[in-house]
């Protein structure tokens, strides 16, 4: 994997320097097509969960497929509008935000999702004519690990499935129109039976509300982070899910729209992160490759114990050796422990794979370092879609008053 659409990754590093994020636009398009084609239902709308990667060029690309957007903050929403998404194609699915932020979303005219009773009552009294979608917590443990599981009983997300009588009471009292029911149980769901189980729980809720027009089943589709690793078989899943959904619609004689909000599935594989080996350091137990990056640029391995494949693209046929790839941040920032890599020399470029989702987006200026640039390759051409930060960016918002 040394090229993207005929362009060598090493040439991209020569042009833009390392560390560098690179996204393959064609890969995003093929994942979108694969996803959409997996389902056979009369009405399907996919809303890209842009928290995964919200660069405006990526948003414009995804919009060009006819995809909608899922936003969790007013800033993501503004980015979406700027990218050209129509308000009716945007879902706003935040949690624990203020009334003021909801007011801004209402003014923007997007689809509102609510996940607690207090906000539902606020909506009922402030915007009696605006329909809302409610997020239900089905109390299932879906998600690759506890940190990314959000549909269980201890999770902060959604309205508990055990509180349906209260939900019905509030809706009736405030005369709220519920136009959608939403569920999202977590990322990296290993077992699609759990997804189907949670979905059945949600369809029982849909049954209670005649006004519901769409059911949004969130996301959680798993991608393989290792060669041969587990991933959601989207064709099988799509078939099984479509059958279940169609049967439900037929049984209640309703034409509901099916929605999903994939993030990782669409963009994870499309991205790679390229870093340069600064130091090769042998200790008694380990040979470290110290690279010009760290948890400030890609925190998933340290935050979630996430696994990302790493390869040496400068010396792909080199003798395999064991290394721990670590960052330059003054914390323990290990990208990969005891990995077999083709022999690494100082200056080599290592590729960290599956860096499209939740990688750049979780980056920071920790240790006062710059965030890296992002490049997108589209139809055989590379485009700089975000510049490398500079010292001006580090100082930009600091005020430096004369206080001493
Ligand atoms: C409400 C909601 N929808 C969609 C997603 C996207 O999930 P994934 O990236 O696993 O597809 C998330 C992820 O956190 C989410 O919280």
Residue of 190 and 288 predicted with greater confidence = 288
- Domain assignment of residue 236, yes or no: yes
Last residue of a domain, one of 238, 265, 292: 265
Same domain, 282 and 261: no
- Domain assignment of residue 404, yes or no: no
Q: What are the beta bridge partners of residue 382?
A: 377
- Rounded to the nearest integer, the mean pLDDT of the chain is 94
Distances (CA, A) of 193 to 158, 200, 355: 21, 11, 27
Average pLDDT for 119-124: 94
Same domain, 241 and 344: no
Q: Could you tell me the pLDDT band of residue 148, with boundaries at 50, 70 and 90? A: low
Same domain, 162 and 309: no
Same domain, 129 and 56: yes
- Domain assignment of residue 186, yes or no: yes
Instruction: State in Å: Cα 35 to ligand 1 middle.
Output: 15
Same domain, 224 and 287: no
Label each residue of the chain as H, E or C: CCEECCEEHHHHHHHHCCCEEEEEHHHHHHHHHHHHHCCCCCCEEEEEECCCCCCHHHHHHHHHCCCEEEECCHHHHHHHHHHCCCHHHEEECCCCCCHHHHHHHHHHCCEEEECCHHHHHHHHHHCCCCCEEEEEECCCCCCCCHHHECCCCCCCCCEEHHHHHHHHHHHHHHCCCEEEEECCCECCCCCHHHHHHHHHHHHHHHCCCCCCCEEECCCCCCCCCCCCCCCCCHHHHHHHHHHHHHHHHHHHCCCCEEEECCCHHHHCCCEEEEEEEEEEEECCCCEEEEECCCCCCCCHHHHHCCCCCEEECCCCCCCEEEEEEECCCCCCCEEEEEEEEECCCCCCEEEECCCCCCCHHHCCCHHHCCCCCEEEEECCEEEEEECCCCHHHHHCCCCCCCCC
User: What's the confidence (pLDDT) of residue 194?
Assistant: 80
- Mark whether 67 is an active-site residue: no
- Domain assignment of residue 9, yes or no: no
pLDDT digits (tens, 9 = 90+) for 182-200: 998 876 766 778 888 888 8
User: What's the confidence (pLDDT) of residue 192?
Assistant: 76
pLDDT digits (tens, 9 = 90+) for 301-340: 999 899 999 999 999 999 999 999 999 999 999 999 999 9
| Ligand 1 atom, smallest distance to 357 CA | 9
Identify the residue whose C-alpha is closest to ligand 1 atom 13. 187
Same domain, 300 and 219: no
User: What's the confidence (pLDDT) of residue 200?
Assistant: 86
- Domain assignment of residue 202, yes or no: yes
Domain count, the chain: 2
- Domain assignment of residue 401, yes or no: no
State yes or no: pLDDT of 151 exceeds 70: no
State yes or no: pLDDT of 150 exceeds 80: no
Residue 308 burial (CB < 10 Å; 0-12/13-18/19+)? Answer: buried
Same domain, 252 and 308: no
Same domain, 154 and 195: yes
Instruction: State in Å: Cα 203 to ligand 1 middle.
Output: 20
State yes or no: pLDDT of 153 exceeds 80: no
Percent of the chain surpassing pLDDT 70: 97
The range of the structural domain enclosing residue 54 comes to 25-265
Same domain, 199 and 75: yes
Cβ neighbour number for residue 123 with a 10 Å cutoff:
21
Say which CATH number the domain at 369 has.
Answer: 2.40.37.10
Q: How many CA atoms lie within 13 A of 275 on its CB side?
A: 26
Identify the residue whose C-alpha is closest to ligand 1 atom 6. 263
- Domain assignment of residue 81, yes or no: yes
- Left if phi > 0, otherwise alpha if psi is -120 to 50, otherwise beta: which for 340? beta
Same domain, 329 and 255: no
Same domain, 210 and 191: yes
pLDDT digits (tens, 9 = 90+) for 2-57: 999 999 999 999 999 999 999 999 999 999 999 999 999 999 999 999 999 999 99
Task: Note if the pTM is more than 0.85.
Answer: yes
> Ligand 1: residues whose CB is within 6 Å?
49, 52, 70, 93, 184, 187, 218-221, 261-265, 357
Strands 44-49 and 68-71: parallel
Last residue of a domain, one of 244, 265, 286: 265
Same domain, 254 and 278: no
Last residue of a domain, one of 230, 265, 300: 265
| Ligand 1 atom, smallest distance to 261 CA | 4
- Domain assignment of residue 13, yes or no: no
Distances (CA, A) of 263 to 67, 106, 183: 12, 24, 15
The best mutation among 146, 219, 355 to test binding of ligand 1, ranked by most ligand atoms within 8 Å of the C-beta, falls on 219
Say which CATH number the domain at 131 has.
Answer: 3.20.20.10
Of 67, 71, 133, 330, the catalytic one is 330
Instruction: State in Å: Cα 95 to ligand 1 middle.
Output: 12
pLDDT digits (tens, 9 = 90+) for 213-269: 999 999 989 999 998 888 889 999 999 999 999 999 999 999 999 999 999 999 999
Instruction: State in Å: Cα 323 to ligand 1 middle.
Output: 33
């Amino acid at each position: 994997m040394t090229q993207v659409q005929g362009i060598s990754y090493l040439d991209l590093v020569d042009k833009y320097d390392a560390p560098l994020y690179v996204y393959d636009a064609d890969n995003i398009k093929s994942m979108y097509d694969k996803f959409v084609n997996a389902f056979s239902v009369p009405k399907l709308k996919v809303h890209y969960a842009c928290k995964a990667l919200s660069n405006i060029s990526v948003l414009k690309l995804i919009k060009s497929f006819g995809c909608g957007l899922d936003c969790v903050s007013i800033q993501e929403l503004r980015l979406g509008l700027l990218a050209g998404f129509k308000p009716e194609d945007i879902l706003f699915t935040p949690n624990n935000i203020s009334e003021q932020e909801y007011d801004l979303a209402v003014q923007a005219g997007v689809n509102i999702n609510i996940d607690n009773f207090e906000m539902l009552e606020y909506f009922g009294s402030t915007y009696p004519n605006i329909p809302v979608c409610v997020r239900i917590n089905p109390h299932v443990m879906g998600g690759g690990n506890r940190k990314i599981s959000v549909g269980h009983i201890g999770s902060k997300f959604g309205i508990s499935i055990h509180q349906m009588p209260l939900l019905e009471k509030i809706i009736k009292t405030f005369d709220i129109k519920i136009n959608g029911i939403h569920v999202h149980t977590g990322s990296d769901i290993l077992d699609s039976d759990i997804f189907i189980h949670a979905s059945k729980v949600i369809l029982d809720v849909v049954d209670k509300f005649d006004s519901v027009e769409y059911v949004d089943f969130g996301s959680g589709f798993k991608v393989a982070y290792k060669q041969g690793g587990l991933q959601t078989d989207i064709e099988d899943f799509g078939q099984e899910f479509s059958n279940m959904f169609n049967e439900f619609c037929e049984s209640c004689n309703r034409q509901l729209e099916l929605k999903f909000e994939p993030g990782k599935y669409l963009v994870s594989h499309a991205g790679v992160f390229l870093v340069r080996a600064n130091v090769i350091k042998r200790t008694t137990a380990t040979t470290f490759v110290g690279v010009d990056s760290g948890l400030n640029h890609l925190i998933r391995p340290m935050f979630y114990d996430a696994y990302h494949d790493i390869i040496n693209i400068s010396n792909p046929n080199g003798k395999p050796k064991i290394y721990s790839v670590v960052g330059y941040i003054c914390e323990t920032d290990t990208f990969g422990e005891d990995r077999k890599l083709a022999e690494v020399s100082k200056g080599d470029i290592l590729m960290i794979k599956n860096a499209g989702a939740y990688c750049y987006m979780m980056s920071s200026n920790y240790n006062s370092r710059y965030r890296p640039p992002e490049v997108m390759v589209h139809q055989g051409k590379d485009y700089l879609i975000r510049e490398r930060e500079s010292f001006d960016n580090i100082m930009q918002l600091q005020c430096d008053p004369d206080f001493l």
